[in-house]
Structure 1
Amino acid sequence: MELTVKLQVFEGPLDLLLHLLEKNKVNIYDIPIVEITNQYMEYIAEMRRQDLNVMSEFLVMAATLLDIKSKMLLPAKESEDEEEEDPRAELVQQLLEYKMYKCMAYELRDRQIDAEKVWFKAPTIPPEVLAYEEPVDVNELMSGVTLARLNDIFQSIIKKQADKIDPVRSKFGRIEKEEVSLPDKMTYVEEYSLHHGHFSFRSLLEAQSGKMEVVVTFLAILELMKMGKIVVSQEYTFDDIKIESKIAA
């Protein structure tokens, strides 16, 4: 009657070595190389009868173990200057790294198994919650923007408008445009911000054709800030003030 031995499947020679170390309950830093080599050779002898296609890597490790075994059996060289290097050191390092990656693989497998047990519910947020808009905090909108800075920019724009006046032709008289109202200018700024998204306070004022339009545009910006339709920010002191539209397209 033949005795059939079923071998455990190992992923590689390092996997087999770890199995032997755990089976014999030995310290990985102090491998009994003679005993482990003998057990390893018994395993691969049985594996050779089972499948020759997976033997190459195991035979390379067998040769490495035999080489280490022979070095361990040789008498140690007496040297006072240099400490003799342990021939098992490189193998121990490989086993430690392999064991670390193997533990990580088990951890990832467990996480995958746990994730497969999790079910996510589709969002069912009530429409009134989705439609809720947080009240506008005027103080927060105006944080970092001082009236002094706004006044400086306003005065510089007024000066530029004055510099555009031709000193000769201005004496001939001119046809004044019809004065624009604040609601009309607010509508203009809303449309401008809707199309531009982000723009500078200075560029908006410079686009105006006269002093009255600059003043009304300035007032329109303040009103839209209070309504929360635009946000004003300034990264550094004396930088240009940036305007961001909060109007949904």
Structure 2
Amino acid sequence: MELTVKLQVFEGPLDLLLYLLEKNKVNIYDIPIVEITEQYMEYIREMKRQDLEVLSEFLVMAATLVDIKSRMLLPSNPDSEEEEEDPRAELVQQLLEYKMYKCMAYELKDRQMDAGRVMYKKPTIPEEVRAYEPPVDIHELISDITLSRLHEIFESIMKKQQDKIDPLRSKFGKIEKEEVSLEDKMEDLKKYAAGHRHFSFRGLLTAQSSKVEVIVTFLAILELMKMGTIRISQEHIFDDIQIDSKVAA
């Protein structure tokens, strides 16, 4: 009765060599070429009976192993001053590169399998957020004005405040003044807007007594614009900006 032997499938001759080295637990840098060649040839003999299509590249490696084996069996020349190169060196380099790429392939395969188990949730927006509408359209509020124009007016007002400084009195001691809060200035502006339906942006800033008040007033105007309490407009470029109050008198 004929005995059928099922051979392990290898991806190439280097894969088979690497398997034989690991099976025999030998150092890849010190390959026992005689033993490994005999095991390799035994595998080739079994392949001849089963799969002739992939045999050619394995035969090439078999010839390489036999060549290395024959060179290692030759006696070394004792009179040679040059250090003889190990016949296995090139094969060892090929095995090391193959092993590195094989490990990388396993790593990529593991990552692919891990990625296949990851589930992603489609983005959803709560109905409360979807239904929200801002109370004031900011673009409508500043449709006829630009931030650069506001900046120019602000800079000119700050320059006037600087010009008001007395060069002599400014060297005297300072009397600390209570800081002006943004909330208080917003309340003051609401009261002012309730009694003045239309007033000048420049005039409002010019009326402030210090740089701090100018800055806080400017910020308060921007906040009230966002809240929809006031609206600013400008008929022509370089004209003064007008503020329209929406506060009930």
With normalisation by structure 1, the TM-score equals 0.54
Going from structure 1 to structure 2, the CA distance change for 1:213 and 1:95 (only over 3 Å counts) comes to same
CA deviation digits over 1:121-166, x for unaligned, max 9? 1112325556699xx9xxxxx9xxx98xx77xxxxxxxxxxxxxxx
What percent of counterpart residues are identical? 71
Which is higher, the Rg of structure 1 or of structure 2?
2
Cα distance in structure 1, aligned partners of 2:125 and 2:69: 70
Cα distance in structure 2, aligned partners of 1:32 and 1:118: 46
Counterpart for residue 183 of structure 1: 233
Counterpart for residue 237 of structure 2: 213
Going from structure 1 to structure 2, the CA distance change for 1:65 and 1:126 (only over 3 Å counts) comes to same
Q: CA RMSD in A?
A: 3.2
Cα distance in structure 1, aligned partners of 2:12 and 2:239: 81
Cα distance in structure 1, aligned partners of 2:63 and 2:114: 42
Name structure 1 gaps, 5 residues minimum.
137-141, 152-181, 186-211, 224-249
Going from structure 1 to structure 2, the CA distance change for 1:82 and 1:129 (only over 3 Å counts) comes to farther
Going from structure 1 to structure 2, the CA distance change for 1:52 and 1:184 (only over 3 Å counts) comes to same
**Hey, which bits of structure 1, 4+ residues long, moved more than 3 A?**
127-133
**Residue 214 (structure 1) shift:** 3.5
Counterpart for residue 74 of structure 1: 74
Cα distance in structure 2, aligned partners of 1:28 and 1:12: 18
CA deviation digits over 1:189-233, x for unaligned, max 9? xxxxxxxxxxxxxxxxxxxxxxx72455xx69xx9xxxxxxxxxx
Cα distance in structure 1, aligned partners of 2:5 and 2:128: 70
Cα distance in structure 2, aligned partners of 1:10 and 1:76: 36
Cα distance in structure 2, aligned partners of 1:88 and 1:97: 14
Query: What SS does structure 1 have at the residue aligned with 2:15?
Result: helix
Going from structure 1 to structure 2, the CA distance change for 1:79 and 1:126 (only over 3 Å counts) comes to farther
With normalisation by structure 2, the TM-score equals 0.54
Number of aligned residue pairs: give it: 154
Cα distance in structure 1, aligned partners of 2:237 and 2:79: 96
1:190-201 aligned at under 5 Å gives the runs: none
Counterpart for residue 124 of structure 2: 124
Cα distance in structure 2, aligned partners of 1:110 and 1:99: 17
**Residue 120 (structure 1) shift:** 1.3
AA matched with 1:45: R
1:1-249 aligned at under 5 Å gives the runs: 1-78=1-78, 81-129=81-129, 183-184=233-234, 213-214=237-238
**Residue 69 (structure 1) shift:** 0.4
Counterpart for residue 192 of structure 1: none
